[in-house]
Each structure stands twice: as C-alpha cells, then as structure tokens.
Amino acid sequence: ESLIYLLQKKIKSKIIFIYHNNPQDLRYSKTVKERLFIVNNCDQIYFVSKWVMKKFFEGLPFTYKNNCEVLYPSISKLNNFPNKNKTIIFTGKLNSSKGYDLFGKAVIDILNIFPSWNAIAIGNEKREKYNFRHKNLKIYDWMPHRKIIEFYKKSSISVVCSKWQEPFGRTAMESAACGCATITSDKGGLSETFKNNLVLHELNSKNLYNLMRKIISDNKLLKKIQKN
C-alpha cells in the first residue's frame, strides 16, 4: 500500500521493494494489473524465495524481468557444533496453519515412549487454543530472537510442519543451521531453506510421529543429519 502511494507520487528516488510474502495475498498486489504496475515502475524487486517470485509472475504476460531477483534471508554460520540435549522444539504461532495441532499430538506420543526426551514449544496464538499437556513438554510465550537461537543450539530435533504455503521458512533455515535435525513440510518456499531429507509429503500426526521415532531410535542417523 505504501509502495503504490510512493510510485503514484513519482518521487525523485530509486525504489527498491522486497516481497516477504505471497504477492497475491497483499493489498494492491493481488491482480495482474496491480503487479504489472509494480514491476514496470520499481527500480528493483527482491523476493525471499523462488516460490514468492513465481507467485508474483503468475498470470503476467512474461515470467521474468531483469529488475527482479531472489534474495534469500541468511544466518551466521556456527564455528563449532553445539552440545545437544534430547529436546524436540517447535517455534512460531501455535496454530493449525503452522501445524501445531499435528506437532502436539505426535510429540506427546513420542514423549510417552521416550521418557528421557523432552519437548518445548515457543510462541502463542490467541485465535486458537490447544491443551497439550505432558510432564516433559514445556510451552513458552514469545521471546527475543537471540534466545530462540540458543534454544535451537541445544535442541536435537526441530519441527516445522506448516500446512500453509510458507513464503520461505526462516525457522527451518535457522534451526537446521544450529544443528537440529529439522523436519519440514514441503509447503511454499520451505523446500528452498536447506537440503533436507526429513520432509513430510503427507501432513498428519502419524507420519510426523513415525519420522521422529525413526531418527530418535537411530542415534547414528540423528547425529549425521544434525551435522549435515
């Protein structure tokens, strides 16, 4: 909305715009006509993933323009592999779009058969309520990003089982970069975050449970995935 205002004012400045979400879901970017106006008047447009760029060009009379590029988010590389606890982590909005309903059910079943393991969820969601309870499950409210990174470093497994089309999937990138064996869905730009073998192509709690159980039961496999 602000971009369109500036473009219509024809200010004497170069305009660089970054799409961090599905262009077709944003005001003044939903229609082909609106996106044509943007691409023909911006000096540079960046997209956080190939998936987001693909959604921008859907329906347009061309599939690429030289002022459009993918610019991925980034994270600093760890110098040393961190010490890991037997912890499974879920971060983000605790709602069904993020797959928290699947995580809660699956992780409680996992904690029942692996009592030496624990799980944590970090986030909140006022619009949806879940009552997942287990003595080895802790649920935290939002916290500063630097603290979440520290939780990633200590955790062994991260779950990013989104049902909605993720524009990119920074949670997946960050937890994997911190040495977590990261389980993801294949929605939106999630497949672009890192080279991942732990993908849930069919999203349900049973498949998530089976995948977590597989890597927990094989410590050698778990360590290999974490270090990769």
pLDDT at 197: 87
pLDDT at 76: 87
Residues β-bridged to residue 119: 88, 137
Q: How confident is the model at residue 108 (pLDDT cuts 50, 70, 90)?
A: very high
pLDDT at 38: 98
pLDDT at 77: 87
Percentage of the chain beyond pLDDT 70 is: 100
**Measured distance CA(94)–CA(100) in Å, rounded:** 5
For residue 70, pLDDT over 90 is answered with yes
Q: How confident is the model at residue 183 (pLDDT cuts 50, 70, 90)?
A: very high
The DSSP output letter for 37 is H
Mean pLDDT of 93-112: 97
pLDDT at 55: 98
Supply the mean pLDDT for the chain: 96
Q: How confident is the model at residue 140 (pLDDT cuts 50, 70, 90)?
A: very high
**Measured distance CA(195)–CA(64) in Å, rounded:** 25
pTM: 0.93
The neighbour count for residue 61, using CB atoms within 10 Å, is 7
pLDDT at 156: 98
The neighbour count for residue 167, using CB atoms within 10 Å, is 23
Structure tokens at 218: 């094989």
**Measured distance CA(187)–CA(98) in Å, rounded:** 10
pLDDT at 133: 96
- Tokens 């778990």 found at: 222
Alpha-helical regions (H) of 74-218 = 100-113, 145-154, 170-177, 205-217
Residue 187's SS3 state is: coil
